[in-house]
Amino acid sequence: MLKQQAIFCIECRAPIRSRRDLVTAWHWLAIRPFHKACYDRSLKGLQTIVVHNYPINRIVGNVRVLSSCLIICCPLGFGLYRFPPSPIEELIWAISGPVLFVFVLVILPRLLSWLWYERRLPT
């Protein structure tokens, strides 16, 4: 049922037909769909460097999500998620909590991009 709904490019207002042509990026504090050509024309370049509106669903987004997952899972490998924590572990948690929060903010937009746009389009 969701696959029937069209997704329209924010830049040119034309429907996006496939995942290969879809680029999602932060635009005015929201995740917006673009045609690849429209993204390249309007957001890529100097504005991307200044505003950090890198593609969420392209290779850059996937690499960011993968690296975030690795950084989040590293404390698991070192056994830092034990309970009750020692004072050193509490200090590590106090330092790493905000960092983990930022990394979750990297993973969540990728997940939302897939839920809202990518899964509704054919490959």
Residues interacting with Zn ion, by CB under 5 A?
A: 9, 11-12, 35, 38
Nearer to Zn ion, 12 or 80 (CB): 12
Nearer to Zn ion, 38 or 65 (CB): 38
Distance CA 54, CA 63 (A): 12
Measured at the alpha carbon of residue 57, what is the angle toward residues 6 and 33, in degrees to the nearest 5? 35
Q: Where are the beta strands (DSSP E) in 2-103?
A: 7-8, 15-16, 22-26, 31-35
Nearer to Zn ion, 33 or 109 (CB): 33
Nearer to Zn ion, 9 or 43 (CB): 9
Residue 41 CB, nearest approach to Zn ion (Å): 9
Residue 12 CB, nearest approach to Zn ion (Å): 3
Give the HSE-up count for residue 10: Cα atoms under 13 Å, Cβ half-sphere. Answer: 17
How far CA 86 is from CA of 79, 91, 92, in Å, comes to 12, 9, 10
Residue 32 CB, nearest approach to Zn ion (Å): 11
* Residue facing Zn ion at closest CB distance: 9
Residue 33 CB, nearest approach to Zn ion (Å): 9
